[in-house]
Chain A
Amino acid sequence: MIQLEQVTKTYPKASRPSLDNVSVSIDKGEFVFFIGPSGSGKSTIVKMLLHEVVPNKGRVVVNGKDVTSMRSWKRPHFRRSIGCVFQDFRLLPNRTAYENVAFALEVIGKTKAVARRVVPEVLELVGLGGKEHRYPHELSGGEQQRVAVARAFVNRPLILLADEPTGNLDPDTSIEIMRLLDRINRTGTTVVMVTHDSNIVNQMRRRVIEIESGRIVRDQARGVYG
C-alpha cells in the first residue's frame, strides 16, 4: 500500500537531511504510528505521501502509484484516495458539520443527491448523529475532530493520514478519537498516524515506527512509546 524505498529528502538551505535513506513498507489494512521528537522528519513523510514534497533520492509508492515521478496535475485525483486529519481540524467555520463533510464531496464532483445519502451515514459512524446542523463553534474539540474524520473518510479512501489528531484534545477525548480511527481501520482502511502521545501508542499496541534525525531507529509490530 505504501512503500518508501531509500528515501532521502534535504530541504534547500538545510544543513542535514530531514529524511536520510529511509525505507518503510506498509501493507493494506495496517495501523501504523510514526513517533519521534519534533523535527525528526515525521511530517516530511506525511507530506511525501500527499505529494506535497518529493524526495531528492529514492522512491515513494502510494496505492501502487509512484509519487516520486507524479506530475503535479495528477495530484488532485491522487489525493482523492487519501483522507487527512490534522491537529487543528481545518473545518470551515461558516458551514455546519453536514456542510463541511458535504463540501468535500461536492468539490470533487459528487452530486448533492450523493451527499444527502452518504453524509448522514458517515456522521452517524463517527458518532455525531443528531448534531449534523451544528456549526464548528457549537461543537467541542473532540466533536470537531470527529467532523474532520468524517470528512476524511466520507470518500472511502484507501489510506487515512492522521497528523497529530489528538494534539489539541484531552486524554479522554483522545481515546474516543482513537476508537474511531480503530473502527475505520477495521473497515480495511490503512491508517497512518503521526503522534507525540505516548499514552495512546501504549494503549493501542499497534505497529510503531520511531524516527530520529531523519532515520528509522525502531520498527516494532506491536510496540509501545519510547
Chain B
Amino acid sequence: MRMKYVMSEVLVGLWRNVTMTVAMIITMAVSLTMLGASGLIYTKVADMKQLYFENIEVSIFLDAEVTEEQRSAIATQLESDPLVSQVTYVNKDEAFQRFQEMFRDSPDLLSAVKADQLPESYRLKLVNPEEYKTISDQYTAVEGVDQVVDQSQVLDKIFNLFTAGQNIALVAAIAMAVAALLLVANTIQVAAYSKRREVAVMKLVGASNWFIQAPFVLEAVVAGLIGSILGLGALIALKIFLFDGALSALQGLFAPVSWGEVFLTFPVMAGVGGLISAVTAWVTLRFYLRV
C-alpha cells in the first residue's frame, strides 16, 4: 500500500504541474543527448586514432638526382634508427603503380604523369607515431632527401575538429544540465508548497523522513528517466538520419557508430539524469521542508 501511495503521489505530482514537468523533461533530454553525443564522439575519436595510427606511414621522398651512396646511407641510418619499426623502399616503378591505383578514376591525371616523374621514397612505420617531429628534424637535412611527409599531421587536424565538437557538446550538456537542475529545484519547491499541509501533518504524526521525501525525489527521478529515454531517441535519430543518412558518403573516413554503442549510452544517460534529479530534489527538500 505504501508503494502504491508513493507511486500515485508521484504521478499526481508530475501531472499537477505539467508545464514545469515538460520543461524539466525537455531540458533534461537535451542535456543528456549532448552528454551521450559527446561520449560517442569521445569513443569514436579513440577508435579512429587507434585505427589510423596503426596504418600510418611517414614518407621520406628522395631528390630526383639522388646518388646510389646517398640512398644506401639513408637506408642504413633508417634501419638502425630505434624510432623506426619498419622500412619499405618504394622505387619509381612502384610509386607509379601506387599512383595509378590511387587515381584510377582520373584518367587525365594518369596520362599526364610519366613513370620517372615520381620520386623514390622510403615508407616508415614508427614505433610511436607521435614521434614524427623527431624523424622529420633528423632526416629533412640529410643529403638526398627532398621532403619528409607525415600522414598523421593531416589526421591530427581532423581529430582536433572532432575533439572540438566533443567539447562543444560537453559544454552544451553542462549548460543544459545547470538549467535542468534549476528547473528540478523549482518544480520540487512548487510541489512541496502545494503539499505543505500534507507534509505538516505527516511530520506531526511521525511519518518517516524517507516516506515524506520519496514522492518528491521520485517525481524528479521519473522526469530525469523520461528525459534520458528521449535522449536515447534523439541519438537513435542522429544515427539514422545523420550517420547512416546524410553522412553515409563519408563512411570510409569515420569509424562506424554501431547500434550497440548507441544503446550503451542509455544506462549512462539514465544514471546521470536520475542521479542529478534525485540529488537536486533531495537537497532542495532539505532546505525547503527541513526534513
Taking a contact as CB atoms under 8 Å apart, the answer to whether B205 and A92 are in contact is no
A78 CB contacts on chain B under 8 angstroms: 206
Known contacts A90-B197, A92-B198: does B1 contact A151 (CB below 8 Å)?
A: no
Interface size class of B (residues with CB under 8 A): 10 to 19
The 21 sampled A-B contact pairs (Cβ below 8 Å) are: A76-B207, A76-B209, A77-B208, A78-B206, A79-B204, A79-B205, A84-B204, A84-B205, A90-B197, A103-B198, A103-B201, A104-B201, A104-B205, A108-B205, A108-B206, A108-B208, A109-B208, A111-B1, A112-B1, A151-B201, A155-B205
Which residues of chain A from 94 to 148 have a CB within 8 Å of any chain B CB? 103-104, 106-109, 111-112
Taking a contact as CB atoms under 8 Å apart, the answer to whether B197 and A107 are in contact is no
B211 CB contacts on chain A under 8 angstroms: 107, 109
Taking a contact as CB atoms under 8 Å apart, the answer to whether B206 and A80 are in contact is yes
Taking a contact as CB atoms under 8 Å apart, the answer to whether A109 and B2 are in contact is yes
Shortest beta-carbon distance, B240 to chain A, in Å?
A: 47
Shortest beta-carbon distance, B291 to chain A, in Å?
A: 9
B202 within 8 A of A: yes
B264 within 8 A of A: no
Compute how far the CA of A151 lies from the CA of B198 in the bound complex, rounded to whole angstroms: 13
Shortest beta-carbon distance, A193 to chain B, in Å?
A: 17
Taking a contact as CB atoms under 8 Å apart, the answer to whether B1 and A76 are in contact is no
Shortest beta-carbon distance, B109 to chain A, in Å?
A: 80
Compute how far the CA of A107 lies from the CA of B203 in the bound complex, rounded to whole angstroms: 10
Shortest beta-carbon distance, A146 to chain B, in Å?
A: 16
Across chains A and B, which 8 residue pairs bring their CB atoms closest together, nearest first?
A79-B206, A107-B207, A80-B206, A104-B205, A76-B206, A76-B208, A107-B202, A84-B204
B201 CB contacts on chain A under 8 angstroms: 90, 92, 103-104, 107, 151
Taking a contact as CB atoms under 8 Å apart, the answer to whether A108 and B207 are in contact is yes
Shortest beta-carbon distance, A54 to chain B, in Å?
A: 14
B5 within 8 A of A: yes
Compute how far the CA of A109 lies from the CA of B4 in the bound complex, rounded to whole angstroms: 12
Compute how far the CA of A112 lies from the CA of B30 in the bound complex, rounded to whole angstroms: 42
- Specify the chain B residue showing the minimal Cβ separation from A77: B206
Compute how far the CA of A109 lies from the CA of B200 in the bound complex, rounded to whole angstroms: 17
Shortest beta-carbon distance, A77 to chain B, in Å?
A: 6
Which residues of chain B from 188 to 240 have a CB within 8 Å of any chain A CB? 197-198, 200-209, 211-212
Compute how far the CA of A93 lies from the CA of B211 in the bound complex, rounded to whole angstroms: 21
Which residues of chain A from 52 to 111 have a CB within 8 Å of any chain B CB? 73, 75-80, 84, 90, 92-93, 103-104, 106-109, 111
Which residue from A93, A107, A112 sits with its C-beta under 8 Å from B205? Answer: A107
Residues of A in contact with B (beta carbons under 8 Å apart): 73, 75-80, 84, 90, 92-93, 103-104, 106-109, 111-112, 151, 155
Compute how far the CA of A135 lies from the CA of B209 in the bound complex, rounded to whole angstroms: 28
Taking a contact as CB atoms under 8 Å apart, the answer to whether A106 and B206 are in contact is no
Taking a contact as CB atoms under 8 Å apart, the answer to whether A90 and B207 are in contact is no
Taking a contact as CB atoms under 8 Å apart, the answer to whether B1 and A106 are in contact is yes
Shortest beta-carbon distance, A84 to chain B, in Å?
A: 5
Compute how far the CA of A109 lies from the CA of B206 in the bound complex, rounded to whole angstroms: 10
Compute how far the CA of A192 lies from the CA of B2 in the bound complex, rounded to whole angstroms: 32
Compute how far the CA of A185 lies from the CA of B124 in the bound complex, rounded to whole angstroms: 98
- Specify the chain A residue showing the minimal Cβ separation from B197: A92
A90 CB contacts on chain B under 8 angstroms: 197, 200-201, 204
Compute how far the CA of A107 lies from the CA of B5 in the bound complex, rounded to whole angstroms: 9
B202 CB contacts on chain A under 8 angstroms: 107
A80 CB contacts on chain B under 8 angstroms: 205-206
Task: Give me 16 other A-B pairs in contact (C-beta within 8 A), A108-B207, A112-B1 excluded.
Answer: A73-B209, A75-B206, A77-B206, A79-B205, A80-B206, A90-B201, A92-B197, A103-B198, A106-B1, A106-B5, A107-B201, A107-B202, A107-B207, A107-B211, A108-B205, A109-B2
